[in-house]
Chain A
Amino acid sequence: MPRTGTGTAAKRTLVWLGVLTALLATLLGAGAHWSTASWSPRLALDLEGGTQMILAPRVQDGSEITPEQLDQAVEIIRQRVDGSGVAEAEISTQSGQNVIVSLPGTPDAQTRDLIQASAQMEFRPVLAGGPGQAPAAETPTPEDQLPTPAAEPQNASDPNWITPELYQEFEALNCLDPAALEPAEEPAPADEPMVACEPDTQGKYILGPVEVPGTDITTASYGLERSQGGQTLNSWAVNIDFNDEGTETFREVTERLYAIGQGDPRNQFAIVLDGRIVSAPTTNAVIPDGNPSISGNFTEESAAALAEQLKYGALPISFEIQSEQQISATLGADQLRLGLIAGLIGLLLVAAYSMFQYRLLGLVTIASLVVAGVLTYLAICILGWTENYRLSLAGVAGLIVAIGQTADSFIVYFERIRDELREGRGLVSAVENGWRRAKRTVLASKAVNLLAALVLFFVAVGNVRGFAFTLGLTAIADLIVVFLFTHPVLRLLARTKFFGEGHPWSGLDPSRLGGIPLYRGAGRLRQPGEGTVKPVVVARTKNKGASAEAERRLTIAERRRAEQQKALAGRTGSSQKETNE
C-alpha cells in the first residue's frame, strides 16, 4: 500500500537524520574528549581577542623597506595565514615599517614558524659534501692536508672557493645539533661561499656563491612527474617557473653543472632557505626554458611543502617577531551578548509570526529551524576543531540572516501545499505534489547560495572567505533539514486526523483556502450531486490541448463556473484514489 509505504519511508528518513545528528555529535564528543575540540564554537579576533605579533621585516641587502615591498609582504603573510585554515586574521602595517599580524587565539609553533618563515631563498652550486655526513668530523684533517685554493675562482662551481678556514668550518659543523638547524639570523653574504646543513637527508655541504636569487622565481607548483613521452609517472615532482633573468642564469648554471657530470658532488645545486638547504638536486639536463622540475623521493606532502617554500621564497624579505602580545577582543563583550539577545528576540518574533501565519504548521517551521540550528552548531564546532573556523560578529549576523533564508524553504513548501489544496487535492496528495514542485525551487535557489559560497571561498581572502564559509554551511544545513526533516514530518502529519481533516488550527484548512474537498476523512464523502462537474473541465486535467480548445468556446459565465469547478475535478480523482486504498 502506497500509504503505509510513504509513511514508513518518511519515518526511515527521520531515522537517518537522527543518525546523522548523532554521528556529528559523537564526532565532536570524541574530539572534545581526546583532542582539542570544544563544545562551543571558536570565536574570531573581534569577539575573543587573540595574539598580536609585530613583525619587523629585514631586507636582504640591509636597505630600508619600500612601500611596495611592504605591501608584498602583507600579501604573502596573508596567503600563509589563510592557507593554515579559515580563521580570519587581521594583517596591516604600522608606521610604514612593520607588519602587524593579529590572530585569534594563541597561534601554535607551526603557525608562528609559517608567518616568520623568511623568504631568504637562493640557489647555490655545491662544491663538496653530501647526504649523511651530518656529525662533525671526529678527526679533523691535519692543517697541511687542507685544500688550498690554487688560483682565483673562475665561476661559482670552482673548487678554488674552498679555503682552509672554510674547510675547517665545514668539518666542525654538526648538523645533528638543533642549533645548527635554526634559521640563520643574518643572511650569508651572496658573493661568498658558505657551509650549510640539509636537515632532511642529514647532509652537510660546502656551497659556492649565490647564482640565482629566490626573487627570480615567478611561481612554483607540484604534480605527478611526466616522462619524456608525456606519460604521467607515479612519482611526484616540483616545478619551478623562473622569470627572464632567472631563466637566462639558470640555463648557464645547468650547462656548467651538467658538463661536470653525475657522480661529482659539484653536479648538484642547493636550494637554500634561510641558511638551510631545502633540497640539493643533481643536474640531469640543461634547462634552457626556465622551467626546471625537481624530482626524487618526494611524497605528495613533501613536494607540496617544497613548492610552497619556493613560491613564498620569492620574497626578498625576512621577518623578525619584534613583539608578541595578547590582545583583548576588539568588540566589547556586550556586542556579542546584545547581538545574541537580538537574535533570540528575532527568533521569537519569527516563531510568533509563523504561528500567526501557519497556525500549528508554524510549529513545523520552528522545529525545523531548531534542527537546522543544532546541525549548524555542531558543524561550526567541528569545523572550528578541524579547520580552525572561527565565528566573528559578522558571521553571527550571517547566521541570523540565514534564519530567514532557511525559513523560506519551508514557506515556499507550505505555500505550494496550500496551492495544491486550493486546487482541491486531499492533504496527502497535496503534500506529495507540493513537495515535487517546491523541491525544484528550493534546489535551484540554494544552488545560487552554494555557488556564491564556493566562488567567494576560493577567490576572496580574509573576512570575505570566512563569510563564504558561513553562507555555504547554512545553505547545506538548510537542504539537509528540508529534505530529511520538514518533508518527512509533513508527510506524517498529513496522515494525522488533526491535519488531514483540515482542522481550523492546522493552518491547512481547505475551507479557508477556498476549496471544499470531497473527501473528509474516513468514508465521509460529499454527495456527488453537490457540484456539477462539466466533462470538458474534467478533460482539461487529462488533455490540455483539448481543454484549451473547449475552454475557448465557453462564455465568460461558463468559464467562471468552470474555473470554480475545475478544482473539484482534480479532487474527485484524488479522493477516489484515496478511498480505494
Chain B
Amino acid sequence: MSRTNFATFGNELYSGKRSYPFVAKRNLWFLIAGIALLISIIIPVVKGGFNLGIDFRGGSEFTVSSTQDTDPAIGEQAVTDVVPEAVPRVTNIAGDTMRVQTERLSDDETLSVRGNLADGYGVGEDQVTSSYVGPTWGEDVSRQALIGFGVFVLLAAILMALYFRTWKMALAAMAALVVVMVLTAGLYSLSDFEVTPSAIIGFLTILSYALYDTVVVFDKIRENTADMKTSTERTFAEQVNLAVNQTLVRSINTSVVAILPVASILFIGAFLLGAGTLQDLSLALFIGIILGTLGTIFIAAPLYAALRLNEPELKKQEEKVLARRSLAAAST
C-alpha cells in the first residue's frame, strides 16, 4: 500500500466512510475465538502437557573435570547423540571443569552420555560424574508468580473499572486477555518448544502488552461514547465500531513497530542459533503481540458493545437513531 493510499485509508476510517464491521459481526469473531480456544486447550491435553524444561522438572547433571578442551559444543553433541530432542546446557566451571545439564535421563542414557563426554573431552570415564539436579524454578517460584499474576489481574480490573467508570470494560478486557493467553499457550505447546523461565517471562510480557493495547483502544471508545445520551448520530454499537476503526491505523502501526524487533530476534534465534532462550522468548512474544492486537479489536471491543447493548438507555437511544434515519430516508 503506498503512502498516499495509507493516508487515505486512515482518513476514510476516521470519517467513517470506510468501516470494518468489528462489532456487527461479533458473533462470528466469538465463534472463531471459541473454536480456537477449544483447540488450544485440546492440543496440550492430547500432547500430554507442556514440554517443561529442566528448570521446572530438574534433570541430570554431568561434571567433567580436568579437561583440556572447554568447548561447550562437545558437551551438547555428547547429549544430543544419545537423546536427539534434548536441549543441554553446557557451562564451563572454574577453568578445567565442564558442567552439562539436561533433562532427566534413564540409566542407559546416562551411561551412554557419560561415555560420550569422556571421549569428547578426552578424559577417563572416572573423571565424569553424574548426579541429579532439582528444579531452579520450583513450586515456590511458580506459586509466587501465580499469586502475583492473580493480584495483578484483579487490581488491573479494578483500575480499569474505576478509570472507565464501568466494570463492563474491565470484564471485556479481561475476557480478551484470557483468550490471548490461552491461545498463546496452545500455539506454544503446538510448536513443542521447551517451556523455560524465559518463556514464562515472555508470557508475562504479553500479558502486559495485551492489556496495554486494550486500554489504548478502550480510551478512544470512552471518548467516542462520552455523549451517547445526547447524540443521535450513531447507535452505541456503531460508535464503538467507529472508535475501533479510527484507532485501526494506530493498532496496525503499533503492532508493526512492536513486532519488527521481535521478528528479527525470532528470525536470528531460529535460523542462526537454534533452540535457546532467544527463540523461546521471541516466539512467545511474536505470537502474543499479534494475538494481543487482534484480541483487542475482535474480542474486547465487540464484547464490550455486546455487554452494554441491552441497557435500557442505550436501547432508547438506538430507537431514536433508527427513527431519525427512517425519517431521513423517507424525506429523500
Contact = CB atoms under 8 A, between A and B. Distances in A.
Interface of A: 46, 49, 52, 70-71, 74-75, 78, 90-96, 100, 325-332, 334-335, 338-339, 341-343, 345-347, 349-350, 353-354, 356-357, 359, 393-394, 397-398, 400-401, 403-405, 407-408, 411-412, 415, 418-419, 422, 437, 440-441, 444-449, 451-452, 455-456, 458-464, 467-468, 471, 512-514, 544-545, 548, 551-552, 554-557, 559, 563
22 contacts: A94-B133, A95-B131, A96-B132, A100-B133, A326-B95, A327-B92, A338-B272, A346-B262, A347-B261, A398-B205, A400-B265, A401-B209, A404-B261, A404-B262, A415-B250, A448-B159, A451-B159, A456-B148, A467-B201, A514-B15, A548-B233, A552-B232
B282 interface: yes
Interface string B57-88: 01001000000000010000000000000000
Interface residues of B, number: 100
A353 B6 CA distance: 13
A463 B72 CA distance: 24
B193 to A, nearest CB: 15
Contact of A559 (B145, B259, B328): B328
B278 A90 contact: no
Contact of B93 (A46, A52, A459, A462): A52
Contacts of A444: 163, 215, 219
A448 to B, nearest CB: 5
B22 to A, nearest CB: 17
Contact of B204 (A71, A354, A467, A512): A467
Given A94-B133, A325-B94, A451 B156 contact: yes
Contacts of B14: 418-419, 422, 514
In the A-B complex, the 8 residue pairs with the smallest Cβ-Cβ separation, listed nearest first, are A404-B258, A346-B261, A93-B134, A459-B148, A514-B11, A328-B92, A325-B94, A349-B260
A557 B331 CA distance: 11
A455 B152 contact: yes
B331 A441 contact: no
A441 B254 CA distance: 14
B232 A330 contact: no
A92 B261 contact: no
Contacts of B141: 78, 460-464
A573 to B, nearest CB: 19
B21 interface: no
A551 B324 CA distance: 10
A473 B201 CA distance: 16
A346 B6 CA distance: 22
A449 B204 CA distance: 11
A353 B261 contact: no
A146 to B, nearest CB: 52
A93 B265 contact: no
B166 interface: no
A368 B71 CA distance: 42
B307 interface: no
Contacts of A548: 230-233
B42 interface: no
A441 B328 contact: no
Question: Which of B99, B134, B135, B211: most chain A CB closer than 10 A?
Answer: B134
